[in-house]
Amino acid sequence: MPKKFSLIKTFFLIFFISNILLIVVGLYAASLFRPVDPNSSLESQFVIPKGQSITKIGLRLKEENLIKSDLAFKLIVKKEKLENKIQAGSFKLSPSMSLSEVARSLTVGTEDAWVTLQEGWRKEEIAESMVRQGFEFFDKDEFLELAKYDEGRLFPDTYLLPQQISAKQFHSLLTNTFDKKIAELEDEIKKSGKSLDDILIMASLVEREGRGYQNLRYVAGILWNRIDIGMALQVDATLQYAKGFNQIEQTWWGEPLASDKEIESPYNTYKNAQLPPNPISNPGMDALRATINPIQSDYLYYIHDKSGVGHYATSYEGHLDNINKYLR
């Protein structure tokens, strides 16, 4: 009898402790879904880049003390079926928000917009892109006036912009980003022995003339070779820049004509055996690096076939052979 009583007592004790543990675990789990600080009046800007995973978003929310648990965040996202609704953008969040409120807030469209500026655009194309995307506080003419001498220094990238951004703020963002990117290349620029101005001008040509990092390096090497021997650069993109907007083709980069090679302009690199006076476009990081670190060769000519593949030659005769072989 005492043994039986002892077993019953042990069973009830285990049962009691188990229930207490379940209650404690349940309370703790429930706490993970409550606000970090219900009394907080603070708000912070939380930016989700394009393509960031739910796991990474949860970890960042926890690191920024906006939620208590990244695992609980994943659970609530799954439970409320928000996996495909959470957006890239900028969101105002507070530690006073519950986990569910935080998750749902990330599905609501923000006042910010992602804008991609293409490598090789000129300043006018950048301004036109902003107008097309409906930034009502952005003044195109004001931006072009601010950027009058900044061709080549308006860094092309993907930016998250507030809808209220002004021309002055936008201009500062692009030039400040350029300064940061160039700072990363400072040692390479010094080793190249070339001035930053020459590198920017050449990179703006290289950006318009090639695609893919290796190809950009070949083009850069060929154009530097031409400079070294006093040969005209003969870059069609400089003619396009000199001509400006093509009304017929409705583009800033209209197909150049044979007669364009006679244009009287410092940007006509068929007539002037030197770099143009200023950049003709805004190059990206690949074109800048390719210009600083070109592929050394004896090539003086290049073409790109219909697939964009580069073909190179050391002589004009070899260049004509490539044209006949790959472009006709």
The answer to whether residues 98 and 157 belong to one domain is: no
Residue 292 lies in a domain: yes
What is the maximum alpha-carbon separation in the chain?
A: 116
Residue 250 lies in a domain: yes
Domain hosting 235: range is: 194-297
DSSP tag of 262: G
The answer to whether residues 282 and 205 belong to one domain is: yes
- φ/ψ region of 81 (left if φ > 0, alpha if ψ in -120 to 50, else beta) reads left
CA distance 121 to 154: 9
Q: 21 pLDDT exceeds 70?
A: no
User: Do 313 and 319 meet the contact criterion of CB atoms below 8 Å apart?
Assistant: yes
Residue 22 confidence class, pLDDT cut points 50, 70, 90: low
Residue 40 sits in a domain of what CATH number? 3.30.1490.480
The answer to whether residues 213 and 175 belong to one domain is: no
Residue 146 lies in a domain: yes
What per-residue confidence (pLDDT) applies to 138?
A: 97
Residue 324 lies in a domain: no
The answer to whether residues 244 and 281 belong to one domain is: yes
Q: What is the mean pLDDT of residues 121-128?
A: 98
Residue 29 confidence class, pLDDT cut points 50, 70, 90: low
Residue 288 lies in a domain: yes
User: Do 90 and 112 meet the contact criterion of CB atoms below 8 Å apart?
Assistant: yes
**Closest residue by Cα to residue 72 from 41, 109, 34:** 34
What's the pTM? 0.77
Q: What is the dihedral of CA 306, 312, 317, 320, to 10 degrees?
A: 10
Which of 176-190, 220-234, 303-317 has the lowest average pLDDT?
Answer: 303-317
Residue 16 confidence class, pLDDT cut points 50, 70, 90: low
CA distance 323 to 270: 19
What does the DSSP assignment read for 28-44?
A: HHHHHTS-S-TT----E
The answer to whether residues 104 and 163 belong to one domain is: no
When divided into structural domains, the chain yields a total of 3
Dihedral sign (CA 127, 130, 132, 134): negative
User: Do 173 and 130 meet the contact criterion of CB atoms below 8 Å apart?
Assistant: no
Q: How confident is the prediction for the chain on average, in pLDDT?
A: 91
Q: What is the mean pLDDT of residues 109-121?
A: 89
**Closest residue by Cα to residue 129 from 111, 141, 148, 115:** 115
Mind spelling out the 3-state secondary structure of 297-310? CCCCEEEECCCCCE
Residue 314 lies in a domain: no
Q: What's CA 201's distance to the chain center, in Å?
A: 21
Residue 285 lies in a domain: yes
Quick one: tokens of 109? 């469209």
Q: What is the pLDDT of residues 259-310, one digit of tens each?
A: 999 999 999 999 999 999 999 999 999 999 999 999 999 999 999 998 889 9
User: Do 272 and 263 meet the contact criterion of CB atoms below 8 Å apart?
Assistant: no
Q: 239 pLDDT exceeds 60?
A: yes
Q: 113 pLDDT exceeds 70?
A: yes
Q: What is the pLDDT of residues 61-82, one digit of tens each?
A: 999 999 989 999 999 999 999 9
What per-residue confidence (pLDDT) applies to 110?
A: 74
Residue 20 lies in a domain: no
- φ/ψ region of 325 (left if φ > 0, alpha if ψ in -120 to 50, else beta) reads alpha
**Closest residue by Cα to residue 312 from 209, 208, 203:** 209
Strands 44-48 and 301-304: unpaired
